[in-house]
Homo-oligomer: A and B are copies of this chain.
Amino acid sequence: MFIRNCWYVAAWDHEIPADGLFHRTLIGEPLLLYRQADGRIVALEDRCCHRQAPLSAGRREGDCVRCGYHGLLFDGQGRCTEIPGLERVPPHVRVRAYPVVVKNRWVFVWMGDAERADPALLPDNFSNDHPDWINLPGYLHYDTPYLLICDNLLDFSHLSYVHEKTLGGSIKIAQARAQIDKLPQGIRVTRQVPDVPPPAYYRRMREFTTNLDRWFIYDFLLPGTLLMHSGGRPTGSASGTEPALDPTQPSADSVNLHSCQTLTPETEHSTHYFFQQSCRADQGDAAMAQTLFDSLLVAFNEDRDMITAQARNLAAKPGVPMVPLAMDAALIQFRRLVDERIAAERPA
């Protein structure tokens, strides 16, 4: 069961070729994505209504796609406009078309009722494509349910253990109490970690001579998007009240990052993970973007190894209860939000 009435990221913008057909499965449904002549991206159900062959095994013809099995032709709205050997196409011959919006290099697809597709619900993934920020786009495939990865992102105490040698570097991260605030579409998590050594991936960016005060401030929004300011400054150097929250005012000796990450279920048991971590353009260059990307990839593979091992245990004995702890507050709240949304979408 998945939330349907929401925007899921289906791809990075650059994954959809100018010509050609792109397949990806979202929440169990096969999608065909392609660009029309004007560059706009179309999302159709990747299953011909005739014999259910994937349309992505067919070919582009102008702004249409022709099924490669028996030649039915569909336009970008999913209407069949030609059936070989038939004079007239019955109007019920069509495939589902999904609303698509591209925003800051993410291709969002609305998997629910098309008339409810509201661009105002798109997350503010500004740093994916902003002159003040630089990054490289990332993608990982998980063979686990997507909520396990949400859990991971909603409790950064794991940074002290899973990422001890990469993103973490101090048990103080796990010891810090996170502040949790409700948002209309999710949860805000604020974690301040004073006076810790700079983590390994900061040290790959530049030299440090002092401990840092670190911060992680993120919104985690339905269906599974993390938008995070994080960073660190020399311990005790903060002058005002949380200036770190203002990414437009970094100091020369601070690290200021912004990250956009999103989880899209592929099936009940597998997940697409799109991510980036940006540094400020006035603090880095292409080499720095690459360094950040490489560090993140190592760390995100640490997560994937752990979550995949966890998923194996869960799958081997589905009924075993978990013991909730204080650190689970955010993930418990988020799972409740997901459950409520799925229940609300269920027909009465």
List residues of chain A with CB under 8 Å of any chain B CB. Answer: 25, 28-30, 46-47, 49-54, 57-58, 66-71, 83-86, 92-93, 151, 155, 157-158, 160-162, 171, 174-177, 305-306, 309-310, 312-314, 316-317, 320, 322-323, 325-328
Contacts and interface: CB of A to CB of B under 8 A. Distances in A.
Nearest to A314: B52
A171 B84 contact: yes
B49 A310 contact: no
B71 A157 contact: yes
Which label, helix, strand, loop or mixed, suits the secondary structure of the A interface?
loop
20 contacts: A28-B316, A28-B317, A30-B313, A50-B323, A51-B322, A52-B310, A52-B314, A53-B306, A54-B309, A57-B305, A69-B162, A69-B306, A70-B155, A70-B157, A70-B325, A71-B160, A85-B174, A85-B327, A86-B325, A86-B326
Given A51-B328, A54-B312, 8 more contacts: A25-B316, A53-B310, A54-B313, A69-B306, A71-B161, A84-B327, A85-B157, A85-B174
State the 8 A-B residue pairs at the shortest beta-carbon distance, nearest first. A84-B174, A53-B310, A49-B323, A52-B313, A71-B161, A85-B175, A47-B313, A54-B309
A304 to B, nearest CB: 12
A66 B177 CA distance: 20
B53 A313 contact: yes
Contacts of A51: 151, 310, 322, 328
